[in-house]
Amino acid sequence: MPESAVAAIQKYTQLDETHCEERILAAKAALGERLLILGHHYQREEVFRHADFSGDSLKLSREAVSSSADYIVFCGVHFMAEVADILSRPDQIAMLPDINAGCSMADMANLANVERAWRELAEILAPDESITPVTYINSAADLKAFCGRHGGIVCTSTNAPHVLDWSFKRREKILFFPDQHLGRNTAYKMGIPLDEMVVWDFDQPMGGLTPEQVRKARMILWKGFCSVHQMFKPEHIDKFKAMYPDARVISHPESSFEVCQKSDYVGSTEYIIETIANSEPGTRWLVGTELNLVNRLHEQYKHLGKSVHFMSPTVSMCSTMFRIDPPHLAWTLESLVEGRVVNQIKVPRQEAEQARLSLQRMLDLAI
């Protein structure tokens, strides 16, 4: 980030919370319909409240497609703003309030390693004929472009079962990255046994696998994970259920297989929200997903006697998502009011065209 931008942000960080919020609201009013703010559910509350639309990755992707705004400000992480840029009109500008808001899971799969894996798989079989590459939306644009080039597709935690079904109808195997847990939990629920899934360790030659293991596998899972959902353990569920036997457990499929197997419900962020919202008053929930969302659900439904608890005894939130704060949002919006675009996210044209192929295949699925 340029020194001038750093200096500007430092001035905004000195604002008190009330004054900062007033300036955000004033800038939003000044920009009017030219501005669209998208907010992911994991975003901190003091930023989340300013979103024009909120949701998980799939829902926000669709909002990016349909928006007529000139500026799309994404309160989320880098790959989300990339998706907004790829799917929006050429004249629209996608922005990320803090350019350093990344995703540790996305960083676990980079293009060089995935291309090397594809070459190594080609020593055993013909990957473009037998393997559908599927990337979780939590990945960089160049990996979405890789999937576009190789007949692959993007998925979210909401539509993963539909995407896997689409993929298996085209080729016998799937290379799934970057999150092994979403791939494993989704495939198992679809009836694929664990012994037909292998983990590709990108630090090892041939992923640490034998040719026989690759040939037998239907799911080749990248060795990646979400640092937040990795915190949840089966013993957290056991301890909670010992105290509250009637409690219900709901987890995001980025959690481990063992946690998901012990959960009463498993589903995407939107699924978790809807399930708790539609539950009867007086229910108690243990939730395996990001802390900001869990706290928001607790506050939203406590008047109905619903108790919503965070699964891990250790406080854990998406630290990169947390980088988007009111000072950065205020700076971004007031810069637009002054006619300056800051922190634009622009995917190179050829990469964007190839990534759009894999994203459009996902969006075209009837879900």
d(CA 173, CA 127): 9
Q: DSSP letter at 252?
A: -
Give the global pTM: 0.90
pLDDT at residue 4 in the model: 64
Q: Assign 106 a pLDDT band (cuts: 50, 70, 90).
A: confident
Cis bond before residue 178 (omega within 30° of 0): yes
Structure confidence by residue, pLDDT tens digits, 155-203 = 999 999 999 999 999 999 999 999 999 999 999 999 999 999 999 999 9
Beta-bridged to residue 36, according to DSSP, are: 72
Residue 65 region, left (φ>0) first, then alpha (ψ -120 to 50), else beta? alpha
Q: Assign 320 a pLDDT band (cuts: 50, 70, 90).
A: low
Domains and CATH numbers, the chain: 3-102+320-346 (3.40.50.10800), 106-227 (3.40.50.10800), 229-310 (3.40.50.10800)
Give the mean model confidence (pLDDT) for residues 306-319: 82
Please tell me the least confidently modeled range out of 76-80, 146-150, 297-301, 358-362. 76-80
CB 224 within 8 A of CB 177: yes
Say if strands 35-40 and 53-55 run parallel, antiparallel, or are unpaired.
parallel
